[in-house]
Structure 1
Amino acid sequence: MDGTNEGAPERAPGSAGRRTARAGRRPLRTALAVAVVGAAVVGALGALPDAAEAGAPAKAPAATAGAALPFTSQEAEDATTDGTVVGPDHTQGTLASEASGRKAVKLAAGQSVDFELKAAANAVDVAYNVPDGQEGSLAVRVNGEAVEGELTTTSRHSYLDTPWIAGSTTHHLFADTRLLLGRDAAAGDTVTLTASAETTVDVADFEQVAAPAEMPSGAVSVVDHGADPTGAGDSAQAFRDAIAAARGGTVWIPEGDFTLGSELNGVSDVTIQGAGNWHSVVRGSRFVNQTQSAGNVHLKDFAVFGDVTERVDGNPDNFVNGSLGANSSVSGMWVQNFKVGLWLTGTNDGLEVTGNRILGMAADGLNLNGTAKDVTVSDNFLRNTGDDALAMWSLNAANERCAFTGNTVVQPNLANGIAIYGGTDITVSGNLVKDTNALGSGIAVSNQKFLDPFFPLSGTITVSGNELVRTGALNPNWKHPMGALRVDAYDSAIEADVRITDTTVRDSPWSVFEFVSGGGKGLAVQNVTVSGATVENTGTVAVQAETRGEVEFSDVVVTGGGAAGVYNCPFPEGSGTFTVRDGGGNSGWDTEWPDCATWPEPGGTGAARG
């Protein structure tokens, strides 16, 4: 969790307690101070302190969980190649660990990967990596015939260091590059990518992009106010003038490439619309930056590419920083290479964020940073974020009745896929989260406050119908696992009614359901029910209980279990007990890890007691 909030305190130094082993006893846990950076907070440290912690194209059918996407993703490791498959790996900082599916294909100069299309496409976006300090290209052929143009590659946005975050290493290894093919390729056709120099290809997103939309009647074009569609000149003032002229109506961004040398503010009561996010492109590392707005702002159907190459938490290097105001919306956007996609403070009540792509953030994808009411974030695709992909943080005032629904999150490479830090009557439903890395869970429901005034979880927290694939992490600093789904009484006991229902968890590298008081205070996790979960292939345990409390489980079915069913070791010693209450219908996890002085290892290592 990160971003910028004007008027926040200066950066405070972080500290961390080290694990101290005692012979024959469970390791001692000490308190962890979270690094606070300017107005920004690192959400990746929410684990135990001693341990680790326009004419829209037709959409493909939605999966059981996740967004309905206008493209088809195809993994390089499943394609034909003369390159080398790397992975699988879960060690932060390696190429494979930060690839979707934990695998990718490394190409030497002249080597290729051939994708047989699963659906018609006229465009491709590729997640790739090149060695630090290098640049190159991927030549593109369709059925052996070269297309005009190439996919340019660079290491510029791939190597980020966050030394103030305990346990982090160089990360954010993959970047995105995209190209319109200039022809329609059919399902079954072959698209070949050939590297000019060493390049690792993770995944290719193939899309049938619609023709540019036409300008709405009555709209005000930024070009008519002096904007340069070639990108050579600075169009920021032209955008401001168009916004002022269009108040109450629509600003039109036509097909073209526009450079903004400075951010926009005073944006209210206006729609800013493009011809489609493959056609209308804005370049600049800050787009909207304002503390308040009268609202009714609608951003839709264009792309904004930043050029953020390092995470500086005191800088508002975000697509949207602050407030869009009440009853606003963000839809059909392509947002790439910022620090944060949307860092939302001030008034954003009734905001709808839907159908967007958020790629390559140095920190969060989206964060509701307190005071938000009735916000819906749905049907978005987020990949390769450097902190929580989607977060709600109830600082200054509680987020109320807000929902993350039907989103797809892939490779949040430093923190959680979805994180809820406090708030009232919050919903997390129908989301697909895949491949978390290093310091987070697929979904975290937490009372970690970071700063005051913080408003803990209250009312009903609904976590329903989510699918978690290869989620959870081994914190590299503390060597301690974090569950695929975590409920954390970090700074205060869980008093809200937390209902976790109809969850699917597949191929979890470590544990599945974790219940913890991450501040080391032994605060209670209570009023929690888990019902209707399908768990397939667990690295260590189904339930990782590390604080006192009680959770009822029903209809939780585990196949391919790990070392044991339950790890039940509340901390601190003597603080109380954790009760696993059987609500019936459970199977496949009726054993218990016997030794609280050791952690289960993935793959079923160690003896369990029945």
Structure 2
Amino acid sequence: MSDQHSQHPRRPARRRRIRAVVAGSFVVALGAGTLGAHPALATADPPGPAGVETVAGLPPHLTAGRGATVPFVEQEAENAATTGEIIGPDRNAYTLPSEASGRRAVKLDAPGEWVEFTLTRDTNSLNVRYAVPDAEQGGGITGPLDVYLNNQRRHTITLTSEFSWLYSTYPFSNDPRAVPPDDWWIPEPRPVKTPFRPHHFYAEQRLLLGKTLHAGQKIKLKLPHDSTLPWAVIDLVDFEMVAKPKKMPRGALSVVDFGADPTGVRESADAFDAAVAAGRASGRTVFIPQGTYQVNRHVVVDDVTVTGAGNWHSVVRGDGVGFYGKWAADGGSHDVHLSDFAIIGNIRERRDDLQVNGIGGALGGGSTVERLYIQRTKVGMWFDGPFHGLTVRDNMIVDQMADGLNLRRGISGVRVTNNFLRNLGDDGLAMWSHFVKNPDGTPETSEEADQDHDNVYDHNTVIAPVLANGIAIYGGRDNVVSDNVVAETVREGGGLHAGYRHGSTRFSGTLTFARNTTVRAGVLDLNWNFGVGALWFYSLDGPMDARIDVVDNSFLDSTYSAIMAVKGHPEAHSVSNIHVDGACIDGAGTYALQLQVAGAGSFTGVEARNLGVGGTWRGDPFEITDGGGNSGWQNDIRWNWPMDTARPVAPPTNCA
């Protein structure tokens, strides 16, 4: 849901080989700068650094109380001991470090190179976020990575780029030879070089270790001496103490008893359908026992509970796999409860004409979706309304070709809370109040009926959406975005966004952004030739004059401006009725406020520090009402073109 722009990849400067790195700093500069001095070469492996826990690549206290509470701890590879090369920091799109958490990672590019983590807590599993190169003709390659527990090789996992590496312009291609159409909005000189705009590099792989390791013990990831991979980039590892498989609830129906195959050899879709039908008819829970089940289409659910042994243990995977409610036009589904299993697809390219999402349809009437792990579908959860009443909580959504979750058209009474999303191909969380019209331009129903309203997105973590925004609200009324953490936007979007665009309804009522934290958010828009803010408002299709409350948010290390408002073209619609009450802006590559639209807003208790260029840029008559308690941003820069080059700033320290 975004216009496409571009920038060629830039290879990070090569650094000399090292035996171990202690990376204790969280400074993330702009561009491909070098790190500090490295330790001297050693003849034996040193003990290595203590384990460093982070949240979105930051010390955890900087995001305390915000984002999802998750069962794992994150350790960034650049903070671990390694014989590899630390790449980054870099925020230029189409580079490996730009899509990495913290904008740095470790590259292993010779057999025998490794990165070793010291545990901070007990664990019996790991989840590694990595990138490996594409095949020369596209389609991906695979190769091994050895896992050492306390310096003893115990496992080998297979890394793959089969589901990564996209090229060219929207809707993208997995062919590195693909070239874009000859359109005016593509600024690169012709003929373009291929691969053109490579992106979406990373993937995730989970592994149960078969034993418990304790705090202070070590886990090493190593390229084998006979490695078939030219290189592997390790971004981070999540460590989790996974619970034992859950037992079947009393009185439940097992999908295995209806013919489902837990080995994954035989197709089990019909068996799932039969179990779901029996569960609905009898009012009994449907249970997915431990195992891997092959399901190559949607399973339609209504008035039924489907639960598994845990999302590490009960895995449903296949081509086009998904659990869908009935369409809203058919009455939708009600009282559906999905929990404790994984959905893993095989999506290799973006096809917006295909319904190949993990969860879909209309799920209302008190339905719940919780504790699922969703990977490699087009969209993790895409709901089509209108409907009312759904709770989505405690899920993990990763490696998506498009959005993480989207509420489309006339959906209300939904709470999306405590979910963790990473590596999305479009908006992480979106509400799209799609104003649907007939071919003659008349509304299919009414604008008010198509508005998403009275929904809440709270306490979610969204990391590395490689296209568009972390959390985006397109039209609608009386929605709330609160207590979330959004990090690492890569291209064509910011951390938080409100836009009258994409054929949405107008905004009405009050939209609230409260107590959110953005981290390294915002990007350079190459066609506009200026930066997009960590929080931004875009009046493309009409004026935005409904009340928008921005309360007690923190904007940390923003790539360009912290808060931005911009008009559309050629119509210059205004943005007004913005009320910012309490904000900490700690680090911005350009400005605290970037106001490129006529309008008005009030600002109270907004503190800014570590600004790369200046306080406020205004290119239109935007009226600022000073409510008091402001500091650090009142110097005004007017009427020149906004800076297209951000300047490095100090790392954030005390926005909590």
The TM-score by the shorter chain falls in which range? 0.7 to 0.9
Percent pairwise identity: 41
| Deviation (angstroms), 1:600 | 5.2
SS at match of 2:400: coil
SS at match of 1:351: strand
| Deviation (angstroms), 1:431 | 0.2
| Aligned equivalent of 1:249, options 269, 284, 290 | 284
| Deviation (angstroms), 1:145 | 2.2
Q: Take 2:313 and 2:86, find their aligned partners in 1: how far apart are those partners?
A: 34
| Deviation (angstroms), 1:480 | 2.2
SS at match of 1:240: helix
| Aligned equivalent of 1:111, options 113, 116, 120 | 113
Tell whether 2:352 aligns with 1:352: no
Tell whether 2:267 aligns with 1:234: yes
Deviations 1:170-221 (A, max 9, x none): 2111000110011111111111011233100001010000000000011110
Aligned twin of 1:6? none
Aligned twin of 2:190? none
Aligned twin of 2:622? 578
Deviations 1:228-247 (A, max 9, x none): 00000000000000000111
Range with greater deviation from structure 2 (293-302 or 162-171): 162-171
Contact 1:228-1:258 at 8 Å conserved across structures: yes
Aligned twin of 1:431? 484
Aligned twin of 1:385? 424
SS at match of 2:380: strand
Q: Which has the higher contact order (CA 8 A, sep 6+)?
A: 1
Contact 1:139-1:194 at 8 Å conserved across structures: yes
* TM-score of the pair, normalised by structure 2: 0.80
Aligned twin of 1:215? 248
Aligned twin of 1:37? none
Q: Take 1:151 and 1:505, find their aligned partners in 2: how far apart are those partners?
A: 38
Deviations 1:18-49 (A, max 9, x none): xxxxxxxxxxxxxxxxxxxxxxxxxxxxxxxx
Matched ranges for 1:367-378 at <5 A:
367-378=406-417
| Deviation (angstroms), 1:520 | 4.2
Contact 1:491-1:519 at 8 Å conserved across structures: no
Contact 2:105-2:234 at 8 Å conserved across structures: yes
Aligned twin of 2:314? 280
SS at match of 1:593: strand
Tell whether 2:199 aligns with 1:171: yes
Q: Take 1:385 and 1:223, find their aligned partners in 2: how far apart are those partners?
A: 33
Matched ranges for 1:189-200 at <5 A:
189-195=217-223, 196=227, 197=229, 198-200=231-233
CA 128–15 in structure 1, closer or farther in 2 if over 3 Å, else same: closer
Amino acid at match of 1:556: V
Aligned twin of 1:84? 85
Matched ranges for 1:289-328 at <5 A:
289=324, 290-292=326-328, 293-328=332-367
RMSD of equivalent CA atoms: 2.0
Aligned twin of 1:590? 634
Contact 1:67-1:380 at 8 Å conserved across structures: yes
Amino acid at match of 1:376: R
Aligned twin of 2:471? 418
Q: Take 1:520 and 1:461, find their aligned partners in 2: how far apart are those partners?
A: 26
Tell whether 2:139 aligns with 1:139: no
Tell whether 2:643 aligns with 1:599: yes
Contact 1:295-1:325 at 8 Å conserved across structures: yes
| Deviation (angstroms), 1:15 | 9.8
Aligned twin of 2:95? 94
SS at match of 1:376: strand
Contact 1:563-1:593 at 8 Å conserved across structures: no
Runs of at least 5 residues in structure 2 that lack an aligned partner in the other structure: 6-54, 136-140, 172-184, 187-195, 436-449, 650-656
Q: Take 1:101 and 1:564, find their aligned partners in 2: how far apart are those partners?
A: 25
Deviations 1:393-427 (A, max 9, x none): 01141111001100000001111000000111000
Runs of at least 5 residues in structure 1 that lack an aligned partner in the other structure: 3-13, 17-58, 571-576, 606-610
Amino acid at match of 2:647: G
CA 272–120 in structure 1, closer or farther in 2 if over 3 Å, else same: same
SS at match of 1:237: helix
| Aligned equivalent of 1:123, options 122, 125, 133 | 125
Contact 1:326-1:347 at 8 Å conserved across structures: no
| Deviation (angstroms), 1:504 | 0.6
Amino acid at match of 2:219: V
Q: Take 1:82 and 1:550, find their aligned partners in 2: how far apart are those partners?
A: 54
